[in-house]
Amino acid sequence: MKVLAADGISPKGIELLQQEFEVVVKNKLPAEELLEIIPEFDALIVRSASKVTAEVIERATKLKIIGRAGVGVDNIDIPAATKRGIIVINSPGGNTIAATEHTMAMMLSMARNIPIANETVQRGEWNRKQYVGVELRGKTLGVVGFGRIGSGVAKRAQAFDMNVIAYDPYINEARAKSMGVRVCTLDEVVRESDFITVHMPLTPETRGMIGMEEMKKMKKGVRLVNCARGGIINEADLAEAVKQGLVAGAAIDVFTQEPLPAGHPLVGVKGIFLTPHLGASTVEAQIGVSMDVAKGIRAALHGEPVATAVNMAPVSPQVMQVIEPYLTLAERLGCTVCSLAAGPIQTVEVTYNGEITDVSTSLITTAVLKGMLNPVLEEAVNYVNAPGLAKERGITVSEVKSRNAVSYANLISVKITTADGKQVSVEGTLFGREGRIVEINGFRVDVDPHARILICPHINRPGIIGKVGSILGDAGINISAMQVGKTDIEGTNIMVLTIDNDIKADTLAKVKEVDGIFDAKLVNFYAL
């Protein structure tokens, strides 16, 4: 597989990927060249410079994952990627400290006029009285966006004896209060703050959320900081507000267009300090984000889920540690019910029993759908597009959780109903970290679902198992394991054979013709 690394990714992440994949490094990649070469690649890593548009995604016929070495993903067309089943990941924590510290540096530099003071001293001037600053102590800092970076800034601002208030539509109010931060409306932050720093993603809702209307409400002497995404603060309005004295100053690291074009409204305005998108530009951050994304790409190209995918339900590292061993088992349970189904599937019910009910199981349910759809669809099915593909096909999916006592500490049950009303069910659990199928349509078994299995319900009488074994042996098919499952229905058993070779249609037909065999279904886990 081939990986394209654009925009100056740290060598540490490149080296990790080169251990398993062919990696092509293209720094400062023009948009035209990206369009031309993208069909060759299975994975793409970018920072903020490259724009991964719908057109790029349409041409990326082999692409499985896009990695953003950083937090913001507004340079990637996520809906287009999701529609194509392409995973989009970022590094939400890799540059947190760097961006947090840069915000504090910008705030302090602006408060004490450090950039302009340095510039004039370098020219031989000595203007002490002209560059009198303000202290942070006792001032109110309004934090707009209280995620990792926003809360990190709040913590450091409190060390400067600042009073911190915060606005975030999804704020964890209890966490904010535990940090000594007062939760406010955006209007309250705008009216009460001496300093305002924004740490929101750029979305249609946040674009221009602080403009002239908001600036007219602000306190005299207010200062603004934006180290998040360009466009959250309206740039033209900010320039005009500083010129009019509505805003005392601003420190801006991110812009709607980068590099800044000639004649940009913020350039040359006294009191506005600019840096060229340096928020994540530390040695440590560049290594951190490149390693995070490289690990995510490696996992995705191996068909494993990625906790930092932004176009699927987020999974915390703690929850991922619990559910990860179940994902492969869940895929195989889905593959098994699909292979046993006699018609189109209408409903899927996934039931969780035991301790696993304490965590979010949505990704495990997605793994069931992935395993169920992969063998029957021409397009690749993954953790991003599996729920959408199931919905498109009219399949109703439900989860049930129960703490009822069962024979195992944890049990996953998958039951499907086909269009003609027939039901198929399988159950599985973990022995250690190894998955086992422990029940098929009510028959108790203990099957290692790692390769191919042949499932044959049959009458419980002598000679049937031997006849099936002979048919497979004559066809050159090796049986590596065998299970006979029992049920409460007297006289009926199920035979589950783990086999090392594929079975041709004529051989499968011979097995079905054996007197006493009700059916024979091959489940091929290599199809996943």
Q: Put the strands of the sheet holding 163-167 in their side by side order.
A: 182-183, 163-167, 140-144, 195-198, 223-226, 249-252, 272-274
The encoded tokens of residue 231 equal 């466009």
Among 15, 20, 258, 284, which one carries the catalytic annotation?
258
CA distance 499 to 518: 20
The verdict on whether 258 is a catalytic residue reads yes
CA distance 264 to 217: 25
Q: Phi/psi at 137 (nearest 5 deg)?
A: -55, 130
CA distance 86 to 484: 41
The encoded tokens of residue 152 equal 């990190």
The dihedral built from the CA positions of residue 266, 149, 363 and 88, taken in this order, carries a sign that is positive
Strand partners, 435: 430
The encoded tokens of residue 307 equal 């906790």
Q: Which residue has the tokens 């198992």?
A: 465
3-class secondary-structure state, position 177: helix
CA distance 436 to 433: 10
The answer to whether the CB of 179 falls within 8 A of the CB of 205 is no
- Give the count of beta carbons closer than 10 Å to the beta carbon of residue 444: 16
Q: Are strands 65-68 and 43-46 parallel, antiparallel or unpaired?
A: parallel
| Neighbour-count burial of 362, counting CB atoms closer than 10 A to its CB (0-12 exposed, 13-18 middle, 19+ buried) | middle
Strand partners, 412: 352, 428
CA distance 263 to 459: 85
List of residues 6+ apart from 172 with CB closer than 8 A: 146
Among 68, 277, 298, 458, which one carries the catalytic annotation?
277
The answer to whether the CB of 275 falls within 8 A of the CB of 225 is no
DSSP string of 413-443, one letter each residue:
EEEEEETTS-EEEEEEEEETTEEEEEEETTE
Phi-psi region of 145 (alpha: psi -120 to 50; beta: other; left: phi over 0): left
The verdict on whether 229 is a catalytic residue reads yes
- Give the count of beta carbons closer than 10 Å to the beta carbon of residue 177: 11
Among 84, 229, 298, 452, which one carries the catalytic annotation?
229
**Any idea what DSSP says for residue 307?**
T
**Of 220, 144, 153, 234, nearest in space to 188 by CA:** 144
The verdict on whether 277 is a catalytic residue reads yes
The answer to whether the CB of 125 falls within 8 A of the CB of 141 is no
**Any idea what DSSP says for residue 40?**
G
Active-site amino acid positions: 229, 258, 277
